[in-house]
Amino acid sequence: MKETGTLGKLVSLLDLVAAADGPMRFTDILAEADQPRGTLHRQLGHLVEEGLLELDADARYVPGIRLLELASRTWARSELRLVAEPHLRSLQEQTGETVHLGVLRGSEIIYLDKVEGRQAVRMYSQIGNASPVYCTGVGKAALSVLDAPRLEAVVAALELTAFTEHTHRSAASLLTDIEETRRRGHAFDCEEHEIGIRCVAAPVFSAERSFIAGISVTGPAYRVTMEKLDLWSGLVRLTAEGVMRDMRMRLGPRW
pLDDT tens per residue across span 62-88:
988 787 667 656 656 678 888 999 999
Using left for φ > 0, alpha for ψ between -120 and 50, and beta otherwise, residue 180 falls in alpha
Residue 120 pLDDT greater than 90, yes or no: no
Residue 182 and residue 155 in contact, taking contact as beta carbons nearer than 8 Å:
no
In a domain, 205, yes or no: yes
Best mean pLDDT range from 7-16, 73-82, 89-98, 202-211: 89-98
Whole-number Å distance between alpha carbons of 144 and 164: 22
Q: Are residues 15 and 87 in the same domain?
A: no
- Structural domain boundaries enclosing 21: 6-63
What confidence tier does 192 reach under pLDDT thresholds 50, 70, 90?
very high
Domain stop point among 63, 80, 98: 63
For 128-182, what is each residue's pLDDT tens digit? 788 999 999 999 999 999 999 999 999 999 999 999 999 999 999 999 999 999 9
Residue 225 pLDDT greater than 60, yes or no: yes
Q: What is the CATH number of the domain that holds 158?
A: 3.30.450.40
CB-based contacts of 135, cutoff 8 Å, min separation 6: 163, 167, 168, 189, 192, 193
Q: Are residues 177 and 146 in the same domain?
A: yes
In a domain, 174, yes or no: yes
Q: Are residues 58 and 113 in the same domain?
A: no
Confidence (pLDDT) at 2:
46
Q: Are residues 90 and 45 in the same domain?
A: no
Q: Are residues 40 and 112 in the same domain?
A: no
Tell me which amino acid residue 21 is: D
Mean pLDDT of 4-32: 86
Supply the mean pLDDT for the chain: 89
Of 203, 199, 202, nearest to 229 by C-alpha is: 199
In a domain, 1, yes or no: no
Q: Are residues 122 and 179 in the same domain?
A: yes
Q: Are residues 42 and 118 in the same domain?
A: no
Residue 111 and residue 100 in contact, taking contact as beta carbons nearer than 8 Å:
yes
Count of domains for the chain: 2
Q: Are residues 82 and 191 in the same domain?
A: yes
Confidence (pLDDT) at 3:
47
